């Protein structure tokens, strides 16, 4: 049976989700998170992918990224998934799959939706009840985007850059966005698009997004 096609358009960012097998944990200790992040950085550089935001949860991963084409995205995700699975199986002296099949991805409209999706990703640990404030969770891009801490993995998107004339202005403007609570409709939009491999955007953008065959 042929694989379902993924939506991917040039210069349009993607929200990528990779879940642990059967929704079981795939990160157990700090070194697991660190190792995955290092492989992700290495693979992103190798395929010229820009990671704008991320969060590594205990049993899944969210990424917001830009990549030149579908084969490079597939190569990056495969490289990270395989390297991490080999590492985890060796560390735990186990065998078998770590990830729940293929990763999921959806297009994200830049205007009006990109920063909403970025905040959604960085607020995952808060929604999960793991922390009360996103800055208290160290395995996400929040500290880089909102607090200015160095994170070699994070490459700010143009929409983030437009928030201010300099780094301080951008951080302050970004922090103010977190004062706005998500509506249930917004959360459902993001979740539905991500889980179904669809498109996050307005009606006109969704209509213009034509899925193409993906590897």
What is the domain partition of the chain in residue ranges?
A: 14-208
Average pLDDT rounded to a whole number, residues 193-206 = 92
> Is domain 14-208 classified as CATH 3.30.70.1290?
yes
Is the pLDDT score of 215 beyond 60? no
Q: What is the pLDDT of residue 180?
A: 92
Model confidence band, residue 210 (pLDDT cutoffs 50, 70, 90): low
Q: Which residues contact 212 (CB under 8 A, 6 or more apart)?
A: 5, 6, 7, 8, 70
The 8-class DSSP code of residue 144 comes to H
| SS3 call for 51 | strand
**What totals of helices (H) and strands (E) does the chain contain, helices first?**
9, 5
Q: DSSP secondary structure string, 54-92?
A: EEE-SSEEEEEEE-S-HHHHHHHHHHHHHHHHHHHHHHH
What pLDDT was estimated at residue 48? 96
Model pTM greater than 0.85? yes
Share of the chain above pLDDT 70, in %: 93
């Amino acid at each position: 049976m042929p694989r379902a096609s993924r939506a991917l358009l040039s210069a349009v960012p993607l929200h990528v989700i990779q879940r642990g097998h059967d929704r079981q944990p795939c990160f157990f200790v700090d070194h697991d998170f660190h190792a995955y992040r290092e492989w992700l950085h290495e693979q992103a550089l190798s395929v010229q992918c820009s990671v704008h935001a991320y969060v590594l949860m205990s049993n899944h991963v969210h990424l917001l990224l830009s990549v030149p084409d579908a084969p490079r995205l597939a190569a990056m995700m495969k490289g990270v998934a395989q390297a991490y699975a080999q590492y985890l199986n060796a560390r735990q002296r186990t065998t078998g799959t770590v990830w729940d099949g293929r990763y999921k991805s959806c297009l994200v409209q830049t205007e009006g939706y990109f920063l909403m999706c970025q905040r959604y990703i960085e607020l995952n640990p808060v929604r999960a009840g793991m922390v009360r404030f996103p800055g208290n969770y160290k395995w996400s891009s929040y500290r880089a985007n909102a607090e200015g801490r160095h994170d070699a993995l994070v490459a700010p998107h143009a929409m983030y850059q437009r928030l201010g004339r300099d780094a301080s202005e951008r951080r302050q403007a970004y922090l103010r966005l977190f004062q706005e609570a998500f509506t249930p409709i917004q959360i459902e939009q993001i979740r539905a698009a991500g889980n179904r491999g669809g498109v996050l955007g307005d009606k006109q953008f969704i209509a213009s997004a034509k899925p193409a065959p993906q590897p």
